Copies of this chain bind each other. A is one copy, B any other.
């Protein structure tokens, strides 16, 4: 049993690994002979095994969603605001499972893992992964944990897409589906941003067609060096393709207003008039460079390419004659859909498309559009009304059907 942390977190948690030796047939037609999934759990599974909640992560997420890994850890899991005692996904009542998805770079089998066929890292040769593959692999994890039916499958952004897939792919194994800041499919603009991000990665000479691991060259910037010499020194370092990709992504996660409030046009150094351009730096530049640089030392470039493709190619209604109503008619669960007013990556309109399709398919659905200035990132933030609405729905999930 976890000991609650100071921020009402689940306390210290330890990742676990589940190994699967039965081959997994993938959407692409290829087969993974075996694979491992790293996951964490928070709270306790009840005797009837009916209180399990699956948390699905977004583009750059992982299994560490709540609590801390060590006593010294300063940074909690990525959804610590929403998972814990008394929080929306209340670990006093739910048994929460959070995994790193297949193809990830935080411990689950992915491009950084050894290809048993060659004894070398998979790298760019790792099979393409679709959201349906993730859901199939998550279903096997449920089997492994003895969970026949999830009380809820929950996710934000790309995580919400996994939750929707669960609802139509395993209708008997999910009682509630919670879809936050997501969409039925990406728009052309969404695709365009991901394309530039991938192109930045692929054009980095250190990327070497994705084969950087076998050459001991990782396409990252010199973050450690930058940290040694102080923040200002690294500003003219070239950015890796992965850092550029993250910078582009990051802009789309924040609202125009949030960036204005956070940075405005404040200068970090230099003058807008006298002197040399190279000495001028806005706060927002410094912030983005830092985000890009940090990300590129903590994430695998091949995984980023793989994850953005899974996101691009997700299209819930594609196999249902492009009719999301037909898709949702396969669902048996209840739905909660949440969007945020300033999210321009997956705007409220995109959530309303989901809601409209669910209503037309005669599925029970609750919808909340939360006023929030934080853009897409709002789904990670402790916005009171968001937490209230989310909590209220989760109380219904907890009640007997």
Contacts and interface: CB of A to CB of B under 8 A. Distances in A.
Interface of A: 27-29, 128, 130, 185-189, 191-193, 195-196, 199-200, 202-205, 236, 238-241, 243-244, 247-248, 251, 254, 256, 259-260, 262-265, 272-277, 280, 282, 284-285, 288-289, 292, 306, 309, 312-313, 315, 318, 344
- Can you list the 8 inter-chain pairs with the closest CB atoms, starting with the nearest? A188-B259, A203-B238, A128-B277, A189-B256, A188-B263, A272-B313, A195-B285, A196-B247
B274 A29 contact: yes
A273 B187 CA distance: 18
A288 B238 contact: no
Given A28-B274, A274-B29, A192 B259 contact: yes
B188 A240 contact: no
Given A188-B264, A256-B187, A274-B29, A238 B202 contact: yes
A276 B128 CA distance: 7
Contact of A196 (B204, B248, B262): B248
Contact of A205 (B199, B205, B273, B292): B205
B260 A187 contact: yes
Copies of the polypeptide in the assembly:
2
A204 B239 CA distance: 9
Given A251-B189, A256-B189, A259-B188, A239 B313 contact: no
A40 B240 CA distance: 41
B288 A192 contact: yes
A284 B188 CA distance: 7
A289 B199 contact: yes
B309 A277 contact: yes
A259 B187 contact: yes
A247 B196 CA distance: 7
A216 to B, nearest CB: 19
A198 to B, nearest CB: 9
